[in-house]
Amino acid sequence: VAIARALMNDPEVIFADEPTGNLDSKTGGGVMDLLLGVISEQRKTLVVVTHDSALAESGDRRVELADGRLRG
């Protein structure tokens, strides 16, 4: 439901805060496949906040916040 609401107004940028945080790995993978498919098909930008390093590696660009500073 949250993904549908986020996409309903056809935003240029989609912000996802821990989109897989409370999900098992199979469901989390499905959520990310859906989000990545949507941004690819509709040429959107996806900004993901996560503690999951494997998920962070799936992006085109990775920026890390450490000790109050952005790196990357």
Instruction: Write out 21-62 in H/E/C secondary structure.
Output: CCCCHHHHHHHHHHHHHHHHHHCCEEEEECCCHHHHHCCCCC
Q: What domains can be seen in the chain, in order of their start residue?
A: 2-71 (3.40.50.300)
Tell me what pLDDT residue 18 has. 94
Tell me what pLDDT residue 54 has. 87
How many other CB atoms sit within 10 Å of the CB of residue 19? Answer: 23
Tell me what pLDDT residue 1 has. 77
Low-confidence ranges of the chain (pLDDT < 70): none
Tell me what pLDDT residue 30 has. 93
What is the reported pTM?
0.81
C-alpha closest to that of 45 among 16, 12, 20: 12
| List of residues 6+ apart from 51 with CB closer than 8 A | 18, 21
Tell me what pLDDT residue 17 has. 94
Tell me what pLDDT residue 43 has. 94
